[in-house]
Structure 1
Amino acid sequence: MAVVLVLAGLLGVAPPAQAIYNGTILSPNKYPWAVRIQLVYPDGAVATCSGALISSYAVVTAAHCLHYNGGTPRTADVTFHYGSHPGQFTVPVPVSQGGLIVHPGFNESLLRDDVGVLHLAHPVAEAPIPLATVNPPANTSVVLAGYGCLGDPFLSHQSCPLGLPASLAAMSARVVASGSCSSITGEWSFCTFSRAKSANHGDSGGPVLRTENGVLKLVGIISAYEDPPAAKYLDLSTSIPYESSWIRATHSGV
């Protein structure tokens, strides 16, 4: 089985993150519900992840971002329109007051239920992204977006060039049969492939998008990529349709 590498960006452990490898830089208002998440852990580690606003006060991201090294962050901040001014703004998450919720079934080794929800300290005016109701079929196209590293994830010395992420980046990928990603062990995940593009560290929790009935919806969140001997570039995403009941149960408004 190929090695699975989760995609949180750990600042202070690795160089700062930038953007999806070979992705397209988006205008600040293209996806106003897309967010950059910064988490500070008790041991001083700082993680950068991506996420999506799903209600006026709730953001969905990857569970492994919220559970680093078996611990939970002591602070979490969510930034909208990261890198743009004057529209950029940051909202804290009241971690000590239950603002951080990890799926109880999360299992990092299986990439099972790799989903978490952050409750913002106050509602925001940005329109949320609606949740998809069906998984993307094989051979259809989806869009992955995030604030992760710019370099090739297969080349560790090039993975994260210098400089903090300045803009959201996106890429298109083709959904492939789950057997293409040998690390997928259940219906909670799906697999995508691109010949020259990939999610990278810092893209964890970033939105995976597909148009459903004419409406752009959140169909997944970026979870991991498979390292060799898997073929370049296979990315694993957590299924939003599979997890939607739990996500809705964490709060009202979705």
Structure 2
Amino acid sequence: MLAIILLAFLAVSSAEDRIHNGKAVPPDDLLNVVRLVMAFKNPDRTSTCTGTIISEHHVLTAAHCLHHEPDQPYALGVLTRDKNQPGFLADHWTIHSGYTYENYEDDIGIITVQQPMKIPPVNLAANYTQVKKDWLRVAGYGKTKYEFINGSVEYMDSAENLMETYVYGYNKESEFCDKLTAQYPDVNGICMHHPNKGTLPGDSGGPSFALGKDGKYYQVAITSFGDAEPNDGIWSLDTDVSYYCPWIEETTGGKVKCQSFKPTPIEPTF
């Protein structure tokens, strides 16, 4: 089954769900950020997203990557950049019971695989609050370009490799974030924006990282939803990992626990 998913991905390498103006991640970095490929009964259809390994048997992603109407995926592959273990087949996946596609609430899901993934998991932030405008590091396998045609945005050029960039995270009291939270009052998310770079379709389910004073990166958000605006760059409202730490621990049977850390400002390298 995994071979079928790999063939489907190679044949139809396109993403339905988001990194613009980013760069390729070095081969030895972020090995725990994975590409997700969903297979459907229609052999001409595939869907790709991004996720993060959070234990030997669990991958964290967005719920909307796992829920498709009306045709639900019947198989899911987890593709890594580790040459010794390039792919895993999902045994099952769990979507948060409160998830609704219409208003983006509880956009979080966990994939379970049976074969152990011998890749160090990401650190999940237990206590993160976006207190001010500051840099966050984002990564994903999504589209890399967009343009506006007749007033509509068109996304193009799926990433062949894992891409990364830096965007601004905003505190909820900021003018930018206040508008988003007013429009989506029940979304537990972190506001992000940059005038000329950010996440695009296919990056969905991927991570946003804050830097700890210990030198480690901690995942603070899951790429959820957003858009590109003609004169305002790329914005998103992404699932707040710290808020969902109890759900993550419960869903993984206690195998995954978030970690407290002390954040320090990120200095972008490009």
Counterparts of 1:227-238 in structure 2, within 5 Å, are: 227-228=228-229, 231-238=232-239
Show structure 1 runs of 5+ residues with no match: 1-10
Counterpart Cα distance in 1 of 2:237 and 2:187: 12
Which structure has greater strand proportion? 2
Conserved? CA contact 1:180–1:191, under 8 Å: no
How far apart are residue 153 of structure 1 and its match? 6.4
Choose from 237, 252, 255 the match for 1:253: 255
2:148 maps to 1:146: no
1:1-254 paired onto structure 2 within 5 Å: 16-17=14-15, 20-44=19-43, 45-81=45-81, 86-87=83-84, 89-94=86-91, 99-133=92-126, 134-152=128-146, 159-161=155-157, 165-176=159-170, 177=174, 178-181=177-180, 183-186=183-186, 188-214=188-214, 215-228=216-229, 231-251=232-252, 252-254=254-256
Provide closer, same or farther for how the CA distance between residues 249 and 70 of structure 1 changes in structure 2, counting only shifts above 3 A: farther
* Alpha-carbon shift at residue 226 of structure 1 (Å): 3.2
CA-to-aligned-CA distance 1:18-64 (integer Å, 9 cap, x gap): 98111111112210100000001234431100000011110000100
Is this contact kept in 1: 2:15–2:49, CA < 8 A? no
Letter in 1 for 2:255: G
Distance apart, 1:74 and its partner CA: 0.3
TM-score normalised by structure 2 residue count: 0.78
The count of residues paired between Structure 1 and Structure 2 equals 233
Residues of 1 paired with 2:195 and 2:228: CA distance?
Answer: 14
**For the residues of structure 2 that align with 1:233 and 1:36, how far apart are their CA atoms?**
22
Quote the Cα distance in structure 2 between the aligned partners of 1:138 and 1:152.
29
Looking at CA atoms only, which structure, 1 or 2, has the larger radius of gyration? 2
Q: Highest relative contact order (Cα 8 Å, sep 6+), 1 or 2? A: 1
Which ranges of structure 2 fall in alignment gaps of 5 or more residues? 1-8, 257-270
TM-score by length of 1: 0.83
RMSD: 2.5
Q: Is the 8 A contact 1:112 1:189 kept in 2?
A: no
CA 1:125–1:90: 2 relative to 1, 3 Å? same
User: Share of identical aligned residues, percent?
Assistant: 25
Displacement after TM superposition at 1:244 (Å): 1.2
Deviation at 1:186, TM superposition (A): 3.2
Match of 1:221, as an amino acid? Answer: I
